[in-house]
Chain A
Amino acid sequence: MVEIPLVEMKGISKSFGAVKALQRVDLELNHGEVLGLVGDNAAGKSTLVKILSGVYTPDEGEIFIQGQRVEFASPADSRRLGIEMIYQDLAIVPNLSIAGNIFLGREPVKSFLGIKILDKRKMIEQSRQAIGRLDVDIRSTKLSSAGLSGGQQQAVAVGRAIFFNPRVVIMDEPTAALSVKGIKKVLELVRELEERGISIILISHRLPNIFAVTDRVIILRTGRRVGERITKDTTPEEIIDLMVGMD
């Protein structure tokens, strides 16, 4: 019996005006797998994962979660099904508190005279737990996010993604703005999430990172899927050839 993939995207196409960003692309993600998604600039990596996270709706194609067909009208739908995304710019709202950022879109509320008001204490305490797991120095989650360092912002974005026990975490160039030490931490995090049984889609330009943590790689070129490799059976040279099309 063939195992049903956790996520299956079939024949996804998406155009922005005259630009065909994706043309009939397939993607499948298995349980507990770390999948690398690579490609040159404008290959369609970000568009593909933004379709999975509900930011864009595909022009064509279907998405299945554990064999069930789903449609995402907004990222709220995708998050409800346990798909979290860590965006390239980390999507930190600078004028909200750290707690506000971690709970953005799913704030706990309590009833006060029949009106739903924010449960601020719960937000602050639970967000402290979320950050606490990540071994970063953040004094209080009540503080504004405006003054956070790159690493701290990263921690907030990661804390937000993993706090609600997701099934899939998508990371779009999570190491783009990081120091070497920061990159090491992200890679450790990927392994840790993997141990907890969370499936991961990792987008990165840095092939060493891809080779360090992924199980399998899908290669996109100008909006098409041009290859798939098991990481331990391939070489960076082969992947680069596929990315730039020198076959």
Chain B
Amino acid sequence: MKQDKLEIARGFKNCCTRITSGLRKFGQFREAPSLVALLGIILISSLLSPHFFTGTNIKNILTQVSIIAILAMGEAYVILTGGIDLSLGSVLALVSVLIAGCMKWMNLPVYLAVTAGLGVGTLCGLTSGLLVTKVKIPSFIATLAMMAIARGLALIYAKGVPISMFPPEFRIIARYLGPISVLTLIMIGMYVIGQLILSWTRTGQYIHATGGHEEATRYLGVNVDRVKLFAFAFSGFCAAVGGVMLTARMDSAYPNVGQGYELDAIGSAVLGGISFTGGVGSVGGAFMGALVITILGNLLNLLRVSGFYQYVFKGIILAVAALSLSRGVKYAK
């Protein structure tokens, strides 16, 4: 009998240590707090609202998160190199009115309009990148300038009015394929590409290295400027993809769209554990962050909380996330 009890006690102890060591290993993942936050907000949402776990709502969330998640990935690339991009929302708006104008006013075929939009978005990112690398303006200021310029160009191009009712070939982008929307599929595709670049190419390696220790990376013969240019161009491209998606989803484009999206993108990156000192984090983390922000918005909507309060909630969560994630990672730069 006594033997048995001892055995059980020992087994229990083993089990405990296994759990704690497992937890410790889990805690070492940079994305662990993000995952906990994500599970937490899912739990809270399902407790507070009976509508949360309905099929329609989940479908909605997956569609809503798609655009923010793509912007968050672009932001993640720039933050990984040690910079920041504030221009995402404005670039998205510019691309949105541009493709709308191409289709409605110039009667260009859909694929040409979309290509032009993606090109212009990438060009905006590239311009920010050139301001940072060649003119040596800090990315905060350079992309703040781009934020104003792109918004202004959007207003000028659209003459301040909304453009809507697009050809059906374009609206395919906003359709559902069975339970999953094309928007979500585009997001998945973008994430696969984004992750592959980061972890399997030289460029990805250099993005991490530049954020980790820029000087050393330059000393070893890596063209750091080109790495940053790539990150900003990729970010602009992501904003453009987001612009195409949003335009299709709303079936209209207006130059004031996307205000505050940079907050969501940066917030997702921070919530996802991407370090502002650069070099640390993953696009998977950015996705989790985007999900947290989207679900939070969704929950507040389900609870009929006014949109005005949502900003306050987002801000508070962002501050708390930054606080809890900033400890631990410090580099001798």
Contact = CB atoms under 8 A, between A and B. Distances in A.
Interface of A: 53-55, 74-79, 85, 87, 89, 91-96, 100, 104-107, 109, 112, 115-118, 146, 160
B219 A76 contact: no
A74 B221 contact: yes
B332 interface: yes
A53 B212 contact: no
A85 B215 CA distance: 14
Contact of B222 (A53, A104, A116, A118): A104
Contacts of B212: 93-96
Interface residues of B, number: 22
Interface stretch (B17-25, B166-174, B199-207): B199-207
Residue of B202, B279, B331 most packed against chain A (CB within 10 A): B202
B213 A105 contact: no
Contacts of B280: 95
B221 A76 contact: yes
B208 interface: yes
B326 interface: no
A79 B200 CA distance: 24
Given A92-B213, A93-B212, 4 more contacts: A76-B221, A93-B208, A95-B211, A100-B208
Interface of B: 200-202, 205, 208-209, 211-213, 215-223, 279-280, 331-332
A89 B215 CA distance: 10
Nearest to B223: A74
Contacts of B201: 115-118
Chain A CB within 10 Å — which of B205, B215, B279 has the most?
B205
Contacts of B222: 76, 104-105
A167 B282 CA distance: 39
Given A109-B202, A118-B201, A95 B220 contact: no
Given A117-B200, A118-B200, A96 B219 contact: no
A87 B220 CA distance: 10
Contact of B218 (A75, A77, A79, A100): A75
Given A94-B332, A116-B201, A116-B202, A100 B209 contact: yes
Contacts, number: 80
A76 B222 CA distance: 7
17 contacts: A55-B218, A55-B219, A75-B219, A76-B221, A77-B221, A89-B216, A91-B213, A91-B215, A93-B208, A94-B212, A95-B212, A96-B212, A104-B205, A104-B216, A107-B202, A116-B202, A118-B205
Contacts of A112: 200
B217 A93 contact: yes
Contacts of A54: 221
B220 A75 contact: yes
A74 B200 CA distance: 25
Given A107-B202, A116-B202, A94 B213 contact: yes
A118 B219 CA distance: 21
Nearest to B277: A95
B220 A91 contact: yes
Q: Which 3 A-B pairs give the minimum distances between C-beta atoms? A: A76-B221, A91-B216, A95-B212
Given A107-B205, A117-B201, A118-B200, A93 B219 contact: no
Contacts of B216: 87, 89, 91-93, 104
Contacts of A79: 220-221
A113 to B, nearest CB: 11
A76 B225 CA distance: 14
Contacts of B279: 93-95
A243 B211 CA distance: 38
Nearest to B220: A105
Contacts of A94: 212-213, 279, 331-332
B215 A118 contact: no
Contacts of B213: 91-94
A106, A115, A117, A160: most-surrounded residue (chain B CB, <10 A): A117
B208 A104 contact: no
B192 to A, nearest CB: 13
Given A55-B218, A74-B221, A105-B221, A93 B209 contact: yes
Given A93-B209, A95-B211, A118-B205, A104 B217 contact: yes
Nearest to B202: A107
Nearest to A106: B221
A146 B201 CA distance: 22
A104 B209 contact: yes
A107 B203 CA distance: 10
Given A92-B213, A93-B213, A100-B209, A87 B200 contact: no
Nearest to A94: B331
B251 to A, nearest CB: 36
Contacts of B202: 107, 109, 116, 118
Contacts of A106: 221
Nearest to B200: A117
Nearest to A117: B200
